[in-house]
Every structure is written in structure tokens, then in C-alpha cells.
Structure 1
Amino acid sequence: MRVFKRASGAIKDRNSIWVAKFSPKGPFHNPDLETVIIKATSHDDKHIDSKNVQRVFQWLRTSPLYLKPLVWILSMRMQKTRSWVVALKGLMLIHGVFCIDIPVVQRMGRLPFDLSNFSDGHLSPAKAWSFNAFVRAYFAYLDKRSAFASSETKQKNVSNKMKEVDETLMEELEKLQKLQGMIDMLLQIRPKNENLNVGLILEAMDCVIVEVFGVYSKFCNKIAKVLLRIYEVGGKMEASIGLKVLQKASIQVEEMSLFFDFCKDIGVLNASQCPKIDRISREDIQDLERIISGASSKKGCGVVGNDEDNNKAIVVRDCSSTASVSQQKGSENGLMTVITQQWEVFDDDHIMVGAKGMDNVSNGDKVIIGTTTNPFEESYGIVPYVPAHYQSLPDLISW
């Protein structure tokens, strides 16, 4: 039965390639690109065809104008398929496309196809439900991720045009909550039973783990900066929302630890690849509670107050709860700055969401090293692209 299924899938792929080759070219149809996409999203459930996946990425790197036919071809294939293998490979492919540093990709918005109600048509319901759940969860996250990236890109473009406009503290807190929502969605992408511990699922889990590292690193970077602003402004409303964010972060740290333990159990991670995730500092929560209660707890970034109780500044904390508190002189007048050891700031210029693990991500004198296998590792390297001035970008909003 399994041999017949593979043979049937191979025949379907070959027929699709023949149809693509003999179909006329059009504004959205490119036979050569469609052939590569079909091979990259074949019915072979053993593994994804990384060679043809990289070919798809090369088409896009050649010119961003290929994004529109690429997404159109992939969308047509996703809408027609009843195979969890093809659907999952399509999601992995679009995930890799997101990680190519081309502006037009970041402006794409929500995914142009819908797999929220995907159902495999070749397996019995008893076997299909776990595969269906995995595909639906992966799609839900990528759809949210694409919309979030598009929103951030639009906001950056507005900020560049109006240089005096800065993000408000409430807007930054809202972004933190969105990042936490994305982490929640990522943690839902996992095999629901042992039948899913197959090669293709594990390859997809590699991509998910890398994404968890990237999103959480971005969250840590933003929360450290937002806390500094809250301490400086001292608003009760902002402190109240910040407190909720920290409380949720405490829960998510526990959930991520369990998620990574689960990944190690199924063979996706090992102890040397998984970085330690420390708990949220109780001190930060207490500081926000004091602001909410009306107590003075303002702390400027590098600004030291005159009161002995507030004679300290919040500095970025690294993820090492066992490290001792160190002190150093903050200025010539002998005032001291306390550096606690809880938060780690990740510079956005050094973190690539979707990069292969977190290889040699540095911050100050501390280096965090973590690696994981990824079928799209070549695509995750940021490839500089200089667009030709005569090329007009495709209108993705009208899709």
C-alpha cells in the first residue's frame, strides 16, 4: 500500500510538470519556475528536496519580480492538494522565502492561500487528524508572521518619511504582546502522536525551533528597551501592561522549556544545541508593581538618582540567573551603577529570524552559541540585494 501511494504521488508530480511545461506563459505563470516549485513540493514524504528549494530561492534573488508568479504558482498548488506532504512542503517553502532579505517579501502581508481547514484526502480520519493539526498550526503561525512583518515594514516606511515620529511606549508594548502571541502559536506546532515522528515532520520541526529562537530573541531585545522606558516615564497604565507582559513571559519561559525538552525527546534537539532559558526576575515585577502602586521607582538608562534606594540604573541583563551582581562606577562623582544578571539584549542587526540556530550571537563579552539542523540553511543567510531602478515592484496588495 505504501509503495502504491508513493508511485501514485510520483505520477501526479510528473503529470503536473508536463502540464506546466506545455502551458503558455503569462503574467503570473512561468513554466520553468513552476516546474521547480512542483519538484520542491513533491509527494515524497521522506524529506524535502533541498536542491530545488534552493533553486526557488535563487529565482527570487535574481529579481523580486519573480515573487508574484512564485506565490501565485504555490497558491494554486496549495489550494488543489489533498496531501499533507505537499501542503507541509509548501509551508516550509514559503517559510524559507520569508527569510530572504528582500523588501518586497516583507510587504507581502497575509498568505494568499488558506490551509486553516486543511484535511488530507488519502489517509483514514484516525490517521489523518494529527497530520492535519500539524499543517493547520504551521499555516496559522506563518500567516500571522507574514502579517506582522508587513505591518512592521509599513510602520518603518512611515517613520523614515517622518523622521521625528517615534514609536510610543504603548505601541511598543502592543508589539511585545503580538510577539508573545506568535510564541504561543509556535509552541502549538508539534507532533501530536508518535506516528508523526517521520523525516519530513522532523525537518519542519527544525524550522520551527529556529523560529522560536529568533522570535524570543527579538522579544528579549524589545522588553529590555521597553522596561527602561517604563522606568523613565513611570506611567501607571504602561507599567500595568508591562507587568502583564512580564507575567505572561514567566509562563512562556516554562512552556518553552517543556517544548525544548519535547524536541529533545523526539530527536530534533540535543543538550548542546539548546540554550538555557532563565526565569523572569522577580525584581523587575516588583519594580513595576511599585510604579503601579504610586511609589517612586523611575530608573533612567545610565541616569543615577540621588536617593539611596534608587541609586541604580537598569542595564541589560544576561540570561544567567546564577551569575552574581556586579558593580562598576557610573561616573566620576563616585555614583554606582548596578548591573543585574537576568535579561539579555539581542541586537536586531545581529539576530536573523530563521538563521541557522543562533550561531555566535554576541552581546558584549558574552557569546551565546546554539545550532540546529535546518533544511533551508542557505536561504537563511541574509543575501544583499540591490534592486534595479528600472524594475517596478509587483502590486501585492491587490491579490
Structure 2
Amino acid sequence: MRVWTKASGAIKDKNSIWVAKLSRKGPFHNPDLETVIIKATSHDEGGIDTKNVQRVFHWIRTSPLYLKPLIWALSMRMQKTRSWVVALKGLMLIHGVFCCDIPVVNQMGRLPFDLSNFSDGHLSAAKAWSFNAFVRAYFAYLDQRSAFVSSAVTKQKNNKKEVEETLMEELEKLQKLQGMIDMLLQIRPRNEDTNVGLVLEAMDCVIVEIFGVYSKFCNKIAKVLLRIFEVGGRVEACIGLKVLQKASIQVEEMSLFFEFCKYIGVLNASQCPKIDTISEEDIRELERIIHGASFKKASVVENDEEKAIVLRDCSPTATVSHQKESENGLTTVITHQWELFDDDVIVGAKGIHNNASNGAKAIGTTANPFEESCSLVPYVPVHHQSLPDLISL
């Protein structure tokens, strides 16, 4: 039965390629690109075709005008397939396109196909449910991710003048990032039958994505806490406290998730990062603000991105560059333990620690098919040409 399934899948791929080559070239059709997409999302469950995946990235980075036929061809294939292999490869492919970080891709919005109710039509129900769950969870995250990025880009375009986000807007964005982390942690094999090569390759992509989203959250929470401590509003402090309390739970969940990935062989023991809990000092200070405790507004050294403010941090292990006694007895400490970082690197922070010295190594050494997607071809913007109308899809 397994041999017949493989043979049947190979025949379907060849027929699809034959039909693609005979189709007429147009705004939605590019036979050459469609052929590459079919090969990249073949029925072969041995692993993703990295060569053809990279060729797709090459096309999209050459010109954003190729996005329309790419999305159309991939959407048609995703809507027709009943194979978890093809569906998962399609999701990994669109995930890699997102990682190319091309402006027109970031404006795409929700995914143009729906796999929220995907069901494999070739396996028995007992075997298919875990693969179905994996595909659905992966789709749900990518759909939410695309909508989140598109919303941020649209908002930035509408604001012709550079206006700083309000504190409430920043807190709302933090909550959305936490929601995305929750969705990422749901993408995992549900039983041992799902621990096959293709699923483990997809888990590599998921782990890299967790590092990326979590690093954005850490970077933003550092700045938001500084603003809350400056403003001292009870409403903002209350929301900030909920964010920190949820973050402390998510730190534990991520640690368990990485341990699980180590168990199934996605991460090596030396690569598995360890994440400490949220700083209790930050939580207590927010509670003081909520309960009306007054404190002297802390001042921040301008343009010094390596320092952050932590109130009443008198621990002997803290690296202190300056501390000042306030009028009511509270101590304001400026410490080096908040570390801001680029979006693709996760490091420790005062509010969210990371004790693993090899955490960054885990990112660099994690195998995933997207690692070359941003270095194949330099992006050359197209002038005097209209960009694809994605809404019409």
C-alpha cells in the first residue's frame, strides 16, 4: 500500500507539471515558476526539495511581480491537495517566502488559502489525525503571522508622519506577540508516528520562528516597562503586570517545548536553550504602581540602549553603573542587565533572562530550508511598474 501511495503521488506530480507547462503565460500564470513550485511541494515525504525551494526564493527576490503567479499557483495546489505531505511542504514554502522580508510580501494580509480544516485523504483516521493537527496548527500560525505583519505595515504607511506609538498600543502589540508564541507552541508532533523526517524539518522552522518572535517580545517589553515606570499610570501598569505574569508562564512553556524538541531529536542537548523566569522586581514594582505607591520618576541616559531602569534592585549580583536614593526611600538602579538586541537574536534581559551561553548557537546551527533565502539574490525594487493586486486573488 505504501509503495502504491508513493507511485500514485509521483504520477500526480508529473501530470501537474505537464499541465503547468501547457498553460498559457499570463498575469496569474508563469509555467516555469509553477513547475518549480510543484517540484518543491511534491508528494515525496522523504524531505523537502531544498533546491527547488531555493529556486522559488530566487524568483521572488528577483522581482516582486512574481509574487502574484507564485501565490496563485501555490493556492491552487493547496486547495486541491488531500496529502499532508504536499500541504506541509506548501506551508514551509510560504513560511520561507515570508522570511525573504520583501515589502510586497509583508502587505499580503491573510493567507489566500485555507487549511484550517485540512484532512488527509490517504491515511486511516487513526494515523491521519496527528498529521492533520500539525498541518492545521502550522497554518493557523502562519495565517495569523501574515495578518499581524500586514496590519503593522499598513498602519505605518497610513501614518505619513512618524508618530510614536502610545503606551496602550505597545502593550496591545505585546499581547499579540504573546498570542503568536502560544500558537507556535501548539505546533508539535502529537505522537511517535508523526516524528518523521519532513515533520522534523518543519519543526526546525518552528524553532527558528519562536526565537524570532520571542526576541521581538523581549526587545519591546524592555522599552514598555521603562515607559510604564516613567508614566506610572495604574491602567497601563495593570496591563503590563498581566503581560509579565503571562510571560513568566510562557517562559516555562518554552523551556518544556525545547526539552521536547531535544527529546524528538530536533535540538541537540548542547543547543537546547534554558530560559529563566521573569524578574520579580519588575512585577513587584508594577504592583506598587497599581496600589498607588508613589515613586520618583526615573531618568534614562539618552541614546544608551544597553541600560535599563530597575527599581529597588539591590541584589549583590546586579551589575550597577549608577544608583540614586529617592526622596521616599526607594532606590532607582540603572543596570546593564537589560540587553536590547536585533530581531533575529535572542539574548538575556533583566525582565526576561536567558542563562544559556549557547542559545545563539542553537539558532545558527539549526538546520532549516530558509537559511539561504535572504542571501541568494539581492532585492532589486521594480520602478514604474504596478505591484500585484493581492486582493483580487
TM-score normalised by length of structure 1: 0.87
Residue type of the alignment partner of 1:373: A
Q: Which of the numbers 156, 173, 183 marks the counterpart of 1:185?
A: 183
Provide the residue aligned with 2:360 in structure 1. 369
Is 2:161 the partner of 1:162?
A: yes
Q: How far is 1:268 from its partner? A: 0.2
In the alignment, which residue of structure 2 is the partner of 1:57? Answer: 57
Q: Which of these residues, 378, 384, 387, is aligned with residue 390 of structure 1?
A: 384
SS for the counterpart of 1:73 is helix
Shift of the alpha carbon at 1:2?
1.4
1:186–1:222: structure 2 CA closer, same or farther, 3 Å change rule?
A: same
Does residue 21 of the first structure (1) align with residue 21 of the second (2)? yes
Would the alpha carbon gap of residues 139 and 288 (structure 1) be closer, same or farther in structure 2, given more than 3 Å must change? same
Could you tell me which residue of structure 2 aligns to residue 112 of structure 1? 112
CA–CA distance in structure 2, aligned partners of residues 48 and 315 of structure 1: 44
SS at match of 1:279: strand
Provide closer, same or farther for how the CA distance between residues 243 and 91 of structure 1 changes in structure 2, counting only shifts above 3 A: same
User: Could you report, residue by residue, the CA deviation over 1:328-359 in whole angstroms, capped at 9, with x for unpaired residues?
Assistant: 2479xxxx97345764422xxx323xxxxx49
Task: Letter of the 1:168 partner, please give it.
Answer: T
> Helix, strand or coil for the counterpart of 1:397?
helix
Q: Which runs of 5+ in 2 are unaligned?
A: 325-330, 350-356
CA gap of 1:280–1:340, structure 2 versus 1, over 3 A, is farther
Q: Report the counterpart of residue 327 of structure 2 in structure 1.
A: none
Match status 1:196 vs 2:194: yes
Local SS of the residue matching 2:390: coil
Distance of 2:321 and 2:12 partners within structure 1: 68
Identity across matched positions, percent: 76
Q: Report whether the alignment pairs 1:327 with 2:320.
A: yes
Unaligned runs of 5+ in 1: 305-312, 353-357
Cα displacement string for residues 12-53 of structure 1 (whole angstroms, at most 9, x for unaligned residues): 000100010011122101110000000000000010000000
Amino acid at match of 2:31: P
Q: Is the 8 A contact 1:116 1:140 kept in 2?
A: yes
The 1:367–1:256 alpha-carbon spacing in structure 2 relative to 1, beyond 3 Å, is: closer
Amino acid corresponding to residue 47 of structure 2 in structure 1: H
Distance 2:4 2:295 in 1: 69
**Aligned residues of 1:83 and 1:122 also touching (Cα < 8 A):** yes
Describe the shift of the 1:66–1:146 C-alpha distance in structure 2 as closer, same or farther (beyond 3 A). same
User: How many correspondences in the alignment?
Assistant: 370
CA distance in 2, matches of 1:147, 1:11: 36
Q: 1:25 to 1:382 in 2, by over 3 A?
A: closer
Q: Is the Cα contact below 8 Å between 2:237 and 2:289 reproduced in 1?
A: yes
The separation in 2 between residues aligned to 1:13 and 1:128, in whole angstroms, is 21
What's the secondary structure of 1:166's corresponding residue? coil
Deviations 1:130-159 (A, max 9, x none): 000000000000000000000111122233
Deviation digits for residues 257-276 of structure 1 (CA, Å, limit 9, x no counterpart)? 00000000000001322332
Cα distance in 2 between the residues matched to 1:89 and 1:198 = 13
Moved more, 149-158 or 63-72: 149-158
Amino acid in structure 2 at the alignment position of 1:388: V
Deviations 1:269-296 (A, max 9, x none): 0132233211001110000001011112
1:383, CA displacement in angstroms? Answer: 6.3
Whole-angstrom distance in 1 between the partners of 2:90 and 2:187: 16
1:173-200 deviation per Cα after TM superposition (whole angstroms, max 9, x unaligned): 0000000000000000000000011000
1:102 Cα deviation from its structure 2 partner: 1.0
Matched residue SS, 2:276 = coil
The code of the aligned residue for 2:102 comes to I
- Counterpart among 343, 357, 365 of residue 351 in structure 1: 343
| Cα distance, 1:158–1:274 mapped onto 2, change above 3 Å | farther
Paired residue for 2:373? 379
Larger displacement relative to structure 2 (190-199 or 148-157) = 148-157
Normalised TM-score (structure 2): 0.88
How far did residue 391 of structure 1 move?
A: 2.0
Aligned CA distance change for structure 1 residues 83 and 102 (closer, same or farther; 3 Å): same
Contact 1:274 1:370 in 2 (8 A): no
- For residue 30 of structure 2, what is the aligned residue in structure 1? 30
Distance in 2 (CA, whole Å) between partners of 1:96 and 1:122 is: 27
Tell me how far 1:324 sits from its aligned partner: 1.4
- How do 1:1-399 residues align onto structure 2 when only pairs under 5 Å count? 1-159=1-159, 161-163=160-162, 165-297=163-295, 299-302=297-300, 315=308, 324-329=317-322, 338-340=333-335, 343-346=338-341, 350-352=342-344, 358=345, 369-371=360-362, 372-381=366-375, 384-399=378-393
Q: Runs of at least 4 residues of structure 1 off by over 4 A?
A: 339-343, 380-384
Distance in 2 (alpha carbons) for counterparts of 1:343 and 1:276? 17
Q: Which moved more, 1:294-303 or 1:275-284?
A: 294-303
The answer to whether the Cα contact below 8 Å between 2:111 and 2:146 also exists between their aligned partners in 1 is yes
Asked whether the 8 Å contact 1:280–1:342 carries over to 2, the reply is no
Q: Which whole-Å deviations, capped at 9, do the CAs of 1:192-249 have from their partners, x for residues lacking one? A: 0000110000000000000000000000000000000001111100000000000000
What letter matches 1:49 in structure 2? D
